[in-house]
Chain A
Amino acid sequence: MLYRDSGQFKSTYEDDRAIFPIAQDRYAMLALLAVAFVAVPILGNDYWLRSIFTPFLIYSLAAIGLNILTGYAGQVSLGAGGFMAVGAFSVYNLLVRVPEINFILALVFGGLVAAAVGALFGIPSLRIKGLYLMVATLAAQFFIEWSFTKFPWFTNYAPSGVISATPIDMFGWKVEESWERYVLALAVVTAMALVAKNLVRGSIGRSWMAIRDMDVAAEIIGIQPMQTKLLAFAVSSFYCGVAGALWAYLYLGTVEPVAFGINTSFQILFMIIIGGLGSILGSFLGAGFIILLPIFINIAGTGLGLNLSTAFISHMEFIIFGSLIILFLIVEPHGLARLWQIAKEKLRLWPFPY
């Protein structure tokens, strides 16, 4: 009975275009942010902060990036991992060569480099679509991985090709502890998620969706496919690039190409399919799902008193991911986000069925 929009009249178009037009949603979101920024770092233990919350946030950011490209602009990409690598290596190289620079600026730089590379590999999208384009993004993925392995300049001539991330120092704040890393990731992800939401609800977002839904019609109403698609590639890669840098600096602590392989690209694609194509919320839900699933299998196994081998768990993960992807595509192609929306609609009318 608490969740109602009756009595909340939107008297201006500004109100009508708000992200959360219903007051209860706004309060819930504020509460969630308060918990995330205050309660979690205070109450969460080291393992949860380091191994679950931080990677969850960073994966969510990468998923938002891919969702912009694939979910909103309709360009399927298997190159997300590659663009994450570009971000991570750009930030590393900047910080190694110019150590005094602020970490946030370095992140922006990493994102911009990734955006430029993304736009470059997005050029074929002007001519080719769908499956063909996917092959082009695979070319990006493998080419980028190879470049970082083969050219020692990128790794600053580190002998093994694996390099440790430099310590982060922001305005004298040394980001070392797990909770500090978590809070930094949370701040970046919150800000960027908000920006993404703003983009997709404005005219740029509409032109992306127009190209996705029917490109010929979009062109005929004056949307320029070149600008629109390249912008989608650039913005998407910016997000992936920042996510890659955060992954290296806040989660792994090392910068290495294998962390951003083709499997990462697949994982991120799965997140947005399960979470919901064309939904910012879905990016978070999908990332959470994919982070939690292996942990859940493990716990379920131990709970049943089984001693599961890592190989078994990883094979089960494959099977469950695969089945879920198919299941979601058949039952709810709009993913978890749509299920959430349906649940909210039901709740609004509860206890009445209609």
Chain B
Amino acid sequence: MQSSRKAIGETLLKVENVTLSFGAVKAIQDVSFEIRRHEILAIIGPNGAGKTSMLNVINGAYHPQHGIITFKGQPRHDMDKHEAAAMGIARTFQNVALFKGMSTLDNILTGRNLKMKRGLFAQMLYFGPALDEEVEHRRKVEDIIDFLEINAIRKTPVGRLPYGLQKRVELGRALAAEPDLLLLDEPMAGMNVEEKEDMCRFILDVNEEFGTTIALIEHDMGVVMDISDRVVVLDYGRKIAEGTPNEVRRNQTVIDAYLGVSH
């Protein structure tokens, strides 16, 4: 694709034989795949295929009954959400999960909380180390605000923003953590064509400029085929196909299970 892109490298995250069930309902059954450094991986599948559950397993929100997840060479069975964040996994949500009472700026700054180390006493004084730290991180956050072109809404409480902008702020908050792996759960759901184009551009830019590895769930097949390097297809909690967009498009199982039915 683009020449400036970092070459897709070794495995960043490996999911092996993951099974997750809620009581009698099997959300994910024996799924394995891997995400490679600097790539954009799309996870697709019909509603209820287990896509969001898969993301939840990867960032520790759900604990699978079986399986091993290896991130940056460290295998684990399950972990806490904030541990995952500390290791460099950030995500956005299907239904925007912003902090509604806070401004755009504070939302994105909160994304950098993990990197802010000043303790209680320094912050009580405010002037001195805490202020230095605050300003240093503010600079980084302002870069992200510039990058996402949301300067005008810097101080607006996010609860008042339209849906499309909220999604953008949420992406900003995830980026603020400078993650190695960025999980996007339907980043373009409910957007119009222009907003989708903008969001696509941001995703590609993030991948290109920062080299961030991205795994995303998306229903719009045009977008998936356009921006992703590889595609994993889930259906009823099982992986039914994996490959480049072109391979998946031609895969008969996928057509039967998904594309053939709904399109």
> Considering the complex, which residues of chain B in the window 42-101 have a beta carbon less than 8 Å from any beta carbon of chain A?
59, 61, 80-82, 84-86, 90-91, 93, 97-101
- Which among B90, B91, B99 is the interface contact of A213 at CB below 8 angstroms? B99
**B99/A220 in contact, CB under 8 A:** no
Q: Are B126 and A14 in contact (CB under 8 A)?
A: no
Residue of B nearest to A19 (CB): B126
The answer to whether residues A221 and B113 also contact, given A198-B124, A199-B124, A202-B123 and a CB cut-off of 8 A, is: yes
CB distance from A46 to the nearest CB of B (A): 35
Taking a contact as CB atoms under 8 Å apart, the answer to whether B86 and A222 are in contact is: yes
Q: Measured between alpha carbons, how far is A321 from B81 in the docked complex, in Å? A: 42
Find out whether the CB atom of B139 lies under 8 angstroms from the CB atom of A278: no
Q: CB-CB < 8 A to A278: which residues of B? A: 101
**Is there contact, CB below 8 Å, between B123 and A203?**
yes
Among the stretches A53-61, A164-172, A204-212, A264-272, the one at the interface with B is A204-212
> With A and B bound together, what is the CA distance between A312 and B125 in angstroms?
47
A221 touching B110, Cβ below 8 Å: yes
> Bound complex: CA of A202 vs CA of B106, how far in Å?
10
Roughly how many angstroms separate A14 CA and B98 CA in the complex, as a whole number?
25
Asked if B102 CB lies within 8 Å of chain A CBs, one says yes
Q: Would B106 and A209 count as touching, CB distance under 8 A? A: yes
In the complex, what distance in Å separates the CA atom of A207 from the CA atom of B97? Answer: 15
A343 at the interface (CB under 8 A from B): no
Asked if B101 contacts A213 (CB within 8 A), the reply is yes
The count of chain B contact residues (Cβ–Cβ below 8 Å) is 41
A214→B134 contact, CB < 8 A: no
Per the bound structure, the CA–CA distance linking A217 and B134 in Å amounts to 22
Dominant secondary structure of chain A at its interface with chain B: helix
A217 touches B98 (CB 8 A): yes
Query: Judging by beta carbons under 8 Å apart, are B99 and A214 in contact?
Result: yes
Flag whether A17 is at the interface (Cβ < 8 A): yes
User: Is B111's beta carbon under 8 Å from chain A?
Assistant: yes
- Is A224 among interface residues, defined by CB-CB distance under 8 A? yes
* Prevailing SS type, chain B contact patch: helix
What distance in Å separates the Cβ of A144 from its nearest Cβ neighbour in chain B?
Answer: 25
Cα separation A341 to B101 with both chains bound (whole Å): 16
B160: CB under 8 A from chain A?
Answer: no
* A212 contacts B101, C-beta separation under 8 Å: yes
Given contact pairs A13-B138, A199-B123, A202-B123, A219 touches B82 in the complex (Cβ within 8 A): yes
Chain B residues closer than 8 Å to A213, beta-carbon distance: 98-102
Bound complex: CA A212 to CA B106 (Å): 14
A221–B90 contact, CB under 8 A? yes
Q: Indicate whether B255 reaches chain A with its CB closer than 8 angstroms.
A: no
Indicate with 1 or 0, residue by residue over A211-245, a CB within 8 angstroms of chain B CB atoms.
01110111111111100000100000000000000
In Å, the complex CA distance between A221 and B173 comes to: 8
Listed stretches B19-27, B114-122, B227-235; interface member: B114-122
Q: A199-B124, A217-B99 are in contact. List 19 more A-B contacts (CB 8 A).
A: A13-B135, A17-B131, A17-B135, A17-B138, A202-B130, A203-B109, A203-B134, A204-B120, A209-B106, A209-B110, A210-B110, A212-B99, A214-B97, A220-B82, A220-B85, A221-B114, A221-B174, A222-B113, A231-B120
- Sample of 24 A–B contacts (CB below 8 Å): A13-B135, A17-B131, A17-B135, A198-B124, A198-B125, A198-B130, A199-B124, A202-B130, A203-B116, A203-B118, A203-B134, A207-B110, A210-B102, A213-B101, A214-B100, A217-B98, A218-B110, A219-B85, A220-B59, A220-B84, A221-B110, A221-B111, A225-B82, A231-B120
- Listed in ascending order, the chain B residues whose CB lies under 8 Å from chain A are 59, 61, 80-82, 84-86, 90-91, 93, 97-102, 106, 109-114, 116, 118, 120, 123-126, 130-131, 134-135, 138-139, 142, 173-174, 177
A→B interface (CB under 8 Å): 12-14, 17, 195, 198-199, 201-204, 206-207, 209-210, 212-214, 216-225, 231, 278
For the complex of A and B, the 3 pairs showing the least CB-CB separation, nearest first, are A222-B85, A213-B99, A198-B126
